[in-house]
């Protein structure tokens, strides 16, 4: 009986980190031409990452739901959500994101390593009517806010050249641009 209790206790100790949630915050000192304060929260149990960018009027929040394979970014000054598929060739896995973010946190200031990868999305101007198709996390974040679907674009874009893109850069890991007008 004692062996069973000890075994169950040890199993709990070793499995807890695998299911743990964690938060990592990185500040942009001075907030001059920077991204403000960013934080990443990972929920391993639900397979979801939440990225918050607190930069006054340009604040945004992004949820990457690895179970549904969708991500959404809520752009506060636009009072809208933009949903897109997760490109698994560019967007790091949840485990890789955890390692990259912890590495950036430990480095202190400045990017280290290769330049960030970039994704450019074209926003469809028609509002999404059924948020439930994107999973509970995205549905909860975007409920009550006009939501638009975006498709990944290959190569340079006229939108990008005209400057009608909203950029949601995640630390020095990933640069995401949402291009097009939303109401």
Domain boundaries, the chain: 35-179
pLDDT at 47: 93
pLDDT at 4: 40
Entry pTM? 0.75
pLDDT confidence bin for 14, thresholds 50/70/90 = very low
- Residue among 79, 71, 37, 77 nearest 55 (CA): 37
Place of tokens 């990185």: 26
Please state, in angstroms and rounded to a whole number, the distance separating the CA atoms of residues 152 and 70.
12
More confident residue, 21 or 6: 21
Place of tokens 């990452």: 49
Rounded mean pLDDT, 94-112:
65
Could you give phi then psi for residue 72, rounded to 5 degrees? Answer: -140, 145
Give per-residue pLDDT as tens, 32-73: 445 578 888 889 899 999 999 998 888 999 999 999 999 999
pLDDT at 138: 97
Please state, in angstroms and rounded to a whole number, the distance separating the CA atoms of residues 36 and 53.
7
List b or e across 25-52, with b for residues whose CB sees 16 or more CB atoms inside 10 angstroms. ebebeeeeeebebbebebbbeebbbbbb
Using H for helix, E for strand and C for coil, what is the string for the chain? CHHHHHHHHHHHHHHHHHHCEEEEEEECHHHCCCCCEEEEEEECCCCEEEEEEECHHHCEEEEEECCCCEEEEEEHHHCEEEEEECCCCCCCCHHHHHHHHHHHHHHCCCCCCCCCEEEEEEEEEEECCCHHHHCHHHHHHHCCCCEEEEEEECCCCHHHHHCCEEEEEECCCEEEEEECCCC
pLDDT at 34: 52
């Amino acid at each position: 009986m004692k062996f069973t209790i000890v075994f169950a206790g040890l199993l709990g100790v070793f499995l807890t980190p695998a299911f743990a949630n964690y938060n990592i915050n990185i500040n942009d000192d001075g907030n001059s031409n920077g991204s403000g304060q960013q934080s990443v929260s990972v929920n391993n149990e639900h397979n979801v990452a939440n990225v918050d960018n607190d930069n006054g009027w340009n604040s945004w929040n992004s949820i990457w739901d690895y179970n549904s394979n969708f991500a959404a970014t809520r752009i506060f000054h636009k009072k809208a959500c933009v949903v897109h598929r997760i490109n698994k060739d560019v967007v790091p896995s949840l485990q890789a994101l955890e390692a990259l973010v912890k590495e950036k946190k430990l480095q202190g200031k400045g990017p280290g390593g290769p330049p960030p990868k970039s994704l450019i999305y074209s926003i469809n101007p028609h509002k999404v009517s059924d948020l439930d198709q994107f999973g509970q996390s995205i549905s909860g974040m975007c409920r009550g806010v006009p939501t638009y679907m975006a498709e990944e674009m290959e190569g340079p874009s006229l939108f990008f050249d005209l400057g009608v893109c909203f950029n949601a850069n995640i630390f020095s890991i990933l640069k995401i641009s949402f291009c097009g007008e939303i109401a």
